[in-house]
Every structure is written in structure tokens, then in C-alpha cells.
A and B are shown apart, each in its own frame.
Chain A
């Protein structure tokens, strides 16, 4: 009795993990494996796809779509930086200065999520319309040519991505800033640190976990996004998500589509790993404690 109770105690954490692990295995691990297998097949939908270790498809996938691959990372990087530049002051203000408006402001950040992603993106089409006031303003400021446009441009796509993923940057930043013990900053200023020095030496390092999380939460979905390029861009702005979608659903080139998805996943994993190394996992975990 006593023994079995102890054994049960030891097993309990694993049992608690079981639903999560089962979910991950069924909906991630197995599909990922099957996708890897599918990417190594040859054939067409009419004749069927035969597994034959066709690694060539990876080289083909890269050389056929290098333009869209690079573009995806470029757009996602610019959008992530833009989201950070916009979000940091915002999160800082809410965490340190907003007082009783804090909850309302947070609600306002989340509010756009109450409407559909598609509707929000289509709304941007209306905002950026050729004869709308935004385009007129850009024209009168000389930012675009007199016959230039905002809709269906690179600017529109990156702006759309930035807007759509902004909350994913702002909220983690807010959480990490909010957690900072104000007395540390007071202590720094008591020790004759300038406000800037206190910010640089106390606030910023302590906000690192938020910056890290926000960057990943913005960058990863942004790389794979296809809606913004589809709605706000032209075929010259299409990203790798558009390519994968069309290969799966229109061309039915399953092997190359699977290979591209797999490649994308690998490159993102590598990028995340590198990023974590550069930022320093030690600082991250220490700061989080």
C-alpha cells in the first residue's frame, strides 16, 4: 500500500504530461514524420507518389523558390523590427506610466483580435486605397510618386504583417516590463546612475525574456504568413507561404510542398537556436528567475 502510493506519486507527473505528449505525438510528431517521408517521394497525383528517397526535391525546392524564401525572411525580419520599435515604448508606457488606464490600454491592444484576421487585413486595403487620404498624404509628402500607390506594394505587405502580429510583440514585452522590481531602478538612481544608464543596465536586461518571446512570436508566424501578401501585395510580393499553399492545393505537387514546409521549419529552428545563443540562454533563464 505504502509502496504503491509512492510509486503512484512518482508516476503522477508523467501521467499529467500524458495528454500533452499524446497531443504532440499525434498532431505534430507523426505528421512531421509523414511529411518528411512524403517529401522524398516522386510522382504525380494521377499516378500516385512513390517513396524513393528522392533528396533531389530539396535542391529543386530551394532553387525554384529561393526568391520567395529570401523574401519571406526579409519581410518577417523587417516586420519584427518594426513591431519591436512600435511596441517597446507602448509596453513601457503601459507598464510604468499608465496607472489606472493600464487594463483599458491592454484591452485595446487585444481588441483587434475580436475581429477576424481576414477582415482586419481587408480593412487595410480600404485604408490604403489609391484615392484615399493615406495615399494622398504620402503623395503630398513626396513619399510616393504622384501616380504611385500604397495598395499592392511591398510597403503594404510589411505594414500588414507588422500590424497583424503587433500584439504578439507588445504583450510579452509588457509582461516582462511589468514584472521588474521598481526598487532596482530606484537603487540604481540612488547610486548615481543616470536615467539612461538605469534603463540600459536594469530595465533592458530584465526585459530580455519579453524581447526574446516577442521576437519569436512575431517572427515565426510572419515568415510563414501568406494572407498579407495575398491581399495587400501582388505576385511580386508573394512569400513562401503562398508557394506552399499553391503547391499543395493547386499544383498538387505534394513532394515539393512537403519539402518546402520542412525546409522552412528547419531554417526557422536554426534561426531560433542561433538567436538564443546570441542573446545568451544563461541571461535569459537568470533574468526569468
Chain B
């Protein structure tokens, strides 16, 4: 192990686990999911029904207060601190069945699609999904509306920029859990200098030492910005050109691999100089390795949000709302933000964090100000058919 102690190896493995927020574990678990996916297919004797169905029927709901018993909450791995939920359980005398079984938007959807399509309960009261997938659930009518009367904190404390997404005007079905940025994570010891541009990732000096994320929205979005096209305005042709650009870089050996969260290991051990990365990951890693930096490219970075949603036929919608309301208390939000290091959607969390951890509270990557927000763009938004085309082209690029 040359100069690496066993401890550091174990530590790295653990960290891989801790940071398996997206993709990584998901891809690996895919084998198992493929089996469950197949089981889903089986029950659909005579072919598989389409998901293109009518939109949501109602946009409001009334969930009267009742005695809380339990709440089934599905989230991404290590996307919450370990204290918030036990405190919530004590305060409200309720059991929260918290499961971190969402590793990948597509995969999770693949797992529960069958029940949703049959209008059956998926036995969860809250699920956390990224914007594009949440949008799909809204249009397909897979969600229970949120009773606004039960979530006054969300009404009061949700930051202005996230209040009115195009896919859920007025937030009738969703409440952001955390938001985050896509940019470049790089190892200063390996690059030998500060980076400013996204296009540095294509420089010959870093050949074979850069990675891209395996989800096209992240990688193609940033490449579009690097090409001078804002993701909001990107057409199918622009998007395909960006896919093409990444394809060429991959064919020439510039790109070492397409990753989920596993770029974190390669970035810390020096295999990678630059990675297309998530802000929260790099901030967490930087705590152990000061050489690591997260860059919002001068051409623009990306911002996304993960949303709490109540699936249709949920058993405890009132409990779900009480919990949503709870995590929108600034104090609790600050506690979670201090652990996960992503962008918190809760107004007032920054003020709370200033009391306990002023360094984090002034971190632009956790509490971006106007100037930083101006540099961030959403994922490219294309029509469903265009997205399918891009996805197909993209899967050719990433080799599958």
C-alpha cells in the first residue's frame, strides 16, 4: 500500500459510502433492481402499459390533523444529519421509517413505476426526487397535493428563487429538500494552478485525468455553458453538439471515465485532476483534503433541487406534511445543512448557522448570494421526445 495506511483505505471506502449520494451505489445496485424491474415486467402480462396518462386531477387537498403514528420516508443515502429525525420523533411521538433507498432518479422510478401506473400505493409517505423526475411525476398524476394549511413553515421560509418552478407553479405538490450545484471539482496539487473555465477540462495536459458525470443533464449542461450556450435557451441541436463534443473527448482518451459519486475517490487519491462534480461532495471532501476546490465555471454552473413529494395513495399524508413543516424550521434546516453541505432552500437557516458555524454560513456554495446565483443555470429543458433522443445518443457516448 506504499505510503497509504490501512486506516486511510478504510476511511476512503467509508467516504465512498458516505458520499454515495447519487449514481454510484445506484448503478451497482442496478443488478438487484434489474431483477425487481423484471418482476415488475412480469406482472404486466401482455406487454407494458404506457406512462403517458392524464395529468393530476386536483391541485389541492385537505389532510385534517390526526394522531401521528408512523411516517415512511425514502431519501438518498446520507442526505440528512443523524439528529434531526430522532428529535422529531420525540417531539411528535411518532416513528419515522427513514430509508435511504433512492440512489438514482431513473432507477427509483423503475422500481415503483408499476404500482404508480396502477394507482396503487408505493408504501411511502415522502420521496425525494430531482426536479426533472418530480416534474414527470406531477404530469403523470402520481402525486398527492400538499395541504398548505399544514406546512406554514414552507410557506413562510422557502427561498424566493425556488418558489415557482415551471413544472409545479405555486408548489402544490412539492417542497425542496436540498438544492445543489454542478461545477468542476479539482485537485490543486494535480492541476498545479487555479482553474477558472469549464473548458480547462478539455486541455491536453489533463488527458486521461478528468471525469464526467454519467447523467447527461449534468455533463451536457455544463458543456453547453462552456460552449457559450445558456441551458435555458439550448435547442436540441445545441444539446446534440455538446454530446458530440464529449463524445470526441472520450474517443481521444481525454476522459478517464463517466462516474456517479465515485469520482470522489479518484479525485482524492490523485487519479483525477478534474471532475464534473456536485458542490456538496467537494465541500465535504475539502474538509479532509484542502487541495480540493469546487469551481463554478466562469461560463456558468448548474443548479438543481431535490424535492420532497407525497406519492399518491400515501398512507400518512398528514404526517408527511408535519415532517416537511419541521425541516423548514430554520434551526433544523441549519442542522441538516451543516451536515450535508448542499444549498439549503430554507430562509433563515443561514442566520441560525452563523451562531454555530460561521465558516459554513459564509460559504457561497451553501448559501449563494445574488451574484453567485446569477452564474447558475437550470438543467437543459427539452421536450420528452427530444430528451429521449439525447438520452439515447448519450448512452452511446458513455458506452452502453
Give residues in A with beta carbon < 8 Å to B: 30-31, 34-35, 37-38, 41, 43-51, 68, 118-119, 122-123, 125-126, 129-133, 136, 149, 151-152, 226-227, 230-231, 233-236, 238, 242-252, 254, 258
Contact = CB atoms under 8 A, between A and B. Distances in A.
A227 B33 contact: no
B41 A43 contact: no
Nearest to A131: B270
The 10 nearest A-B residue pairs measured at CB: A235-B399, A48-B50, A246-B400, A46-B52, A238-B399, A133-B2, A49-B48, A47-B50, A234-B257, A243-B400
Given A119-B13, A234-B256, A248-B34, A126 B395 contact: no
A245 B34 contact: yes
22 contacts: A38-B48, A41-B47, A44-B50, A46-B52, A49-B48, A132-B1, A133-B1, A151-B266, A151-B271, A152-B257, A227-B28, A235-B397, A238-B400, A244-B34, A246-B395, A246-B398, A247-B395, A248-B37, A249-B37, A249-B106, A250-B391, A250-B395
B265 interface: yes
A231 B41 contact: no
Contacts of B392: 251
A45 B9 contact: no
Contact of A230 (B1, B27, B397): B27
Nearest to A34: B42
Contacts of B208: 149, 152
A38 B37 contact: no
B4 A254 contact: no
A51 B256 CA distance: 41
Given A49-B48, A249-B34, A249-B106, A254 B41 contact: yes
Contacts of A49: 47-48
A230 B258 CA distance: 9
A86 B52 CA distance: 54
Contacts of B271: 129-130, 149, 151-152
Contact of B46 (A51, A68, A119, A226): A51
B84 interface: no
Nearest to A30: B42
Given A149-B208, A246-B400, A250-B106, A50 B27 contact: no
B30 interface: yes
Nearest to A244: B34
A47 B385 CA distance: 12
A233 B47 CA distance: 35
B269 interface: yes
Contact of A251 (B1, B48, B395): B395
Contacts of B38: 31, 35, 248
A118 B391 CA distance: 27
Contacts of B257: 152, 233-235
A44 B400 CA distance: 18
A251 B389 CA distance: 10
A47 B38 CA distance: 19
Interface in B263-310: 265-266, 269-271
A247 B384 CA distance: 17
Contact of A129 (B47, B51, B270, B384): B270
Nearest to A125: B265
Interface string B236-263: 0000000000000010000111100010
A234 B392 CA distance: 19
A125 B31 CA distance: 20
Contacts of A252: 106, 110
B398 A235 contact: yes
Given A132-B1, A235-B397, A43 B50 contact: yes
Contact of B51 (A45, A51, A133, A227): A45
A48 B106 contact: no
A37 B399 CA distance: 27
A226 B33 contact: no
A42 to B, nearest CB: 9
Given A125-B266, A230-B28, A242-B400, 17 more contacts: A31-B42, A45-B50, A47-B50, A122-B265, A126-B4, A126-B269, A132-B1, A132-B2, A151-B271, A234-B257, A234-B399, A242-B399, A245-B34, A246-B400, A248-B30, A251-B391, A251-B395
Interface in B20-78: 27-28, 30-31, 33-34, 37-39, 41-42, 45-52
A44 B399 CA distance: 21
Contact of B33 (A43, A129, A152, A249): A249
Contacts of A234: 255-258, 399
B107 interface: yes
Contacts of A46: 50-52, 384
B28 A35 contact: no
A152 B13 CA distance: 18
A235 B400 contact: yes
B340 to A, nearest CB: 23
B369 to A, nearest CB: 36
B247 to A, nearest CB: 10
Contact of B16 (A122, A149, A151): A122
A186 to B, nearest CB: 46
Contacts of B104: 249
A118 B13 CA distance: 10
A122 B12 CA distance: 10
Contacts of B4: 126, 132
Nearest to B33: A249
Given A30-B42, A122-B16, A249-B37, A254 B48 contact: yes
B388 interface: yes
A22 to B, nearest CB: 16
A172 B34 CA distance: 29
